[in-house]
Amino acid sequence: MEKRIVIVGAGYAGILTAKKLAKKFKKQNDVSITIIDKNPFHTMLTELHEVAANRVDEDSIKISLKKVFAGRKVNVKLDTVTSIDFAKKNVIGANESYQYDYLVLSAGSKPTFYGVPGAEEFSYKLWSYEDAIVLREHIQNTFFKASCEPKKEERKRMLTFYVVGAGFTGVEMIGELAEYVPILCEKYGIDRNEVSMFNVDGLSRPIPNLPEKLSDKVTRRLNKMGVQLILNAMVSSIGSDYIELKQNDKIMHNAAGTVIWAAGIQSADITKDAGASLELTRGGRIQVDSYLRSTKDQNVYVIGDNMYFVPEGEERAVPQMVENCEQSADVAAHNIVASMKGQENNLKVYKPAFHGVMVCIGGRYGVAHVGLPNHFFSLPSFFAMFAKHFINIVYFIQVLGWNKIFSYIKHEFFTIRNCRSFVGGHFSNRTPSFLLVALRVWLGAIWLFEGIMKVVEGWFNAPKLTGFFGGADAWYNSILNAGAAGADAVSAATTAAAESTDAVTAATGAAGEAAAAVGKVLLDFNFLGLIKVIFVSGKELAESTISDYAFKLDIPAMNWFVEKLIFPYDGVQLAMQIFIVVAEILIGLALIGGLFTTPAAAFSLILQFMFVCTTGLYLGTFWMIFAGIAVLIGAGRTFGLDYYAMPALKKFWKRLPFVRKLYIYND
């Protein structure tokens, strides 16, 4: 008989539970897994403020559920759950009903307004993908309208922003807004002094989860960015053009253009409704046992924001944060598998081990308190921001593999707007790609010329690698050993070079007579016998030009490979020569035509590295390495065949089942 697992909610906890269960039951056809969500995508809730303040595109925080579960035995249902009949084990949605044997409640949260009059009606929220987009458009429209408003007082009111709540969401939102405001002021010609920003909270310091020292750093940073903190103040009401605060028994009625509510969350409606049959606690959360099962129904698991659980030895319930979602998903999935197999003695107790918290105040500054339980430490701003991005990447690996990481890095670093990143705009691709076309074509032409010349020189007909590599080695040795071996070294080099002038020229750009030059050793460094770095000039320094300086990495392991497996066999040499020639010609044609530019540029760099490690290169040819790096990404999309080929190839690639299952397609 088929066993049915139904997961309500595709948030952090739900999506990870579904993936873990699908992995456990991938070979069992008698188990079905269904995940239900009202949206066809998963939203990175911790990144909403970045979209709201227009630092990144909205697509960067959205992950398609079809892509997440492609090739996996998970039924994705786009539906809104309206009720749950626990007695009949039936989840009732707006479109259909879903029978279950095991139910996972992970429906997430929604803002709570604490009964404040006008809060829900007149404030902007920041707890969904739609909220972020609405708020972004509102902020931009506000500055546009204010720029056209002739009355100074009305303009000042319009440009007054309040963020209610100085927790993680509130501080990150006001910090992001403060970073965005100068950009909008410049765009719309507004005096920065006309914009006012306030962060309001009933507590005595921002982000009380942090140590007091770090809270003070947050306060100083916000003040530096022009944000005024109003603490120990409660919001008593909100209207269409005002916010009313109560602080020390004093009522303050302040004009406001925008109020953003980030003052707390409670469980989603369906979880609160389910609590009527289960054990409901504060904030609409459901009490669970140590195995994350409802205390009223052992076939119902409650995880993530919806669970209420106080770990052994702790005084407070687990926090509603991403790390709790991840760890509770793992335990719930394990216990469901154990229960279905009748292994009740193998159930896992939930023992969360949280590794700290961090908060970003705009894209350039952050604070973090991280570590292991009972061993926490604070990070400087740069490393706090680095840790934040690293944690996001770890999460993306779990949800959508390495492919999503490339997309994330692109949004956060390579296409970042207005340099709003903790590394500034140094990685941002602000140079128009069409400027690289000439470099790409010229690099391709050089490779094509090199390949054709090797064909003319007979590389398809007779072994030449012994002379190609040996002549270059003799030239370097003539310089390195000149002081010790004198005329004998020069003579040996001259003899070898006479037999392979073309080889040395092709490899290092040197003419045959350079072998007789004593030259100058600039660097001869041996690192633990693993690699030797050689940098020489073929002439005395006073007479040298850039084409006289040569660089080589002498790697014993590679030397052994060449000497033992290539040189002794003419057939192997000939095969290697043909491979090099064909590769050079194909690289040249690909770069000139702008077709498969990325693999062509990558292979260009590989060949250059091979030459550096065998024959060395003159500095005069090093430009080919830097050119290969420059055209590595996207250079074929401008005046190149990649403009047509890559979208078609991408479309075909995404259709392949194994590609979808392994997440090796572009997001």
In a domain, 407, yes or no: no
Are residues 170 and 156 both part of a single domain? yes
In a domain, 203, yes or no: yes
Are residues 597 and 495 both part of a single domain? yes
Chain center to CA of 567: 45
Task: Decide if 117 contacts 238 (C-beta within 8 A).
Answer: yes
Choose one of 314, 348, 382: the last residue of a domain. 348
Are residues 198 and 280 both part of a single domain? no
CA 410 – CA 397 distance, rounded (Å): 16
In a domain, 28, yes or no: yes
* Predicted local distance difference test score (pLDDT) of residue 13: 95
Are residues 54 and 150 both part of a single domain? no
> Which of 263, 381, 363 shows the shortest CA–CA distance to 54?
363
| Residues paired with 287 in a beta bridge | 308
Are residues 132 and 165 both part of a single domain? yes
Are residues 459 and 547 both part of a single domain? yes
Are residues 272 and 254 both part of a single domain? no
The string of DSSP letters for 495-521 reads HHHHH-HHHHHHHHS--GGGGG---EE
Task: Decide if 436 contacts 601 (C-beta within 8 A).
Answer: no
Buried b (16+ CB within 10 A) or exposed e, 313-351: eeeebbebbbbbbbbbbbbbbbbbbbbbeeeeeebeebe
Are residues 512 and 625 both part of a single domain? yes
Neighbours of 568 (CB within 10 A): 10
CA 609 – CA 625 distance, rounded (Å): 9
Are residues 36 and 59 both part of a single domain? yes
Residues in the chain, pLDDT under 50: 483-517, 667
Domain that includes residue 303, residue range: 3-109+267-348
Are residues 449 and 591 both part of a single domain? yes
Are residues 49 and 32 both part of a single domain? yes
Question: How many structural domains is the chain composed of?
Answer: 3
* Predicted local distance difference test score (pLDDT) of residue 495: 42
* Predicted local distance difference test score (pLDDT) of residue 506: 41
In a domain, 410, yes or no: no
CA 37 – CA 12 distance, rounded (Å): 12
CA 327 – CA 373 distance, rounded (Å): 15
In a domain, 373, yes or no: no
The most distant pair of C-alpha atoms in the chain lies apart, rounded to whole Å, by 98
* Predicted local distance difference test score (pLDDT) of residue 518: 63
- Name, in order, each residue with C-beta under 8 angstroms of 667's C-beta and a sequence gap of 6 or more: 63, 67, 400, 403, 404, 406, 407
* Predicted local distance difference test score (pLDDT) of residue 472: 84
Choose one of 246, 263, 280: the last residue of a domain. 263
CATH number at residue 95: 3.50.50.100
Choose one of 348, 363, 398: the last residue of a domain. 348
- Name, in order, each residue with C-beta under 8 angstroms of 511's C-beta and a sequence gap of 6 or more: 501, 504, 505
Report angle CA 497, 499, 500 to the nearest 5 degrees: 65
Are residues 147 and 251 both part of a single domain? yes
